[in-house]
Amino acid sequence: MPAAKSPEFRRRALDLVAQGEPVARVARSLGISESGLRGWMAQDDIDAGRAEGLTSAEKRELVELRRRNRVLEMENEILKRASAYFARENELPK
C-alpha cells in the first residue's frame, strides 16, 4: 500500500486539476494513480458541499466512534466474565 500523501500535496493536485490541467497528466506528473486523484476530487466535492456523502470530518468521527465502541464492548465483556467468576466463588456449598 502506498504511503499516504500530505493534505498539502492533495490540495496542490486538486488545484492543478481546477486550473484546467487534465486529470491523467496531473496524476502522471505527481506519481499518483488517476483513480486516486479522482477519489480526492470526489471527496473534495463532498467536503465543499457540491456532492452528497460523508465529509472527511464525519468519516474521521465515525472511525473514532467505532473504535471507542469496540473498546467499550470489550470492557463490558470483561466485566460480565469477572462478575460471573466472582458470583460462582461466593456460592455456599450444599
Tell me if the pTM is above 0.85. Answer: no
Q: What is the pLDDT of residue 92?
A: 62
Q: Are residues 45 and 7 in the same domain?
A: yes
Q: What is the pLDDT of residue 2?
A: 73
Q: Structural domain of residue 29, as residue ranges?
A: 1-53
Asked whether the predicted pLDDT for residue 94 surpasses 70, the reply is no
As a three-state string, the secondary structure of the chain is CCCCCCHHHHHHHHHHHHCCCCHHHHHHHHCCCHHHHHHHHHHHHHHCCCCCCCCHHHHHHHHHHHHHHHHHHHHHHHHHHHHHHHHHHCCCCC
If one counts the domains in the chain, the total is 2
Q: What is the pLDDT of residues 5-61, one digit of tens each?
A: 999 999 999 999 999 999 999 999 999 999 999 999 999 999 999 999 999 999 999
Q: Are residues 6 and 26 in the same domain?
A: yes
Q: What is the pLDDT of residue 93?
A: 63
Q: Are residues 78 and 41 in the same domain?
A: no
Q: Are residues 73 and 90 in the same domain?
A: yes
Q: Are residues 64 and 76 in the same domain?
A: yes
Asked whether the predicted pLDDT for residue 68 surpasses 80, the reply is yes
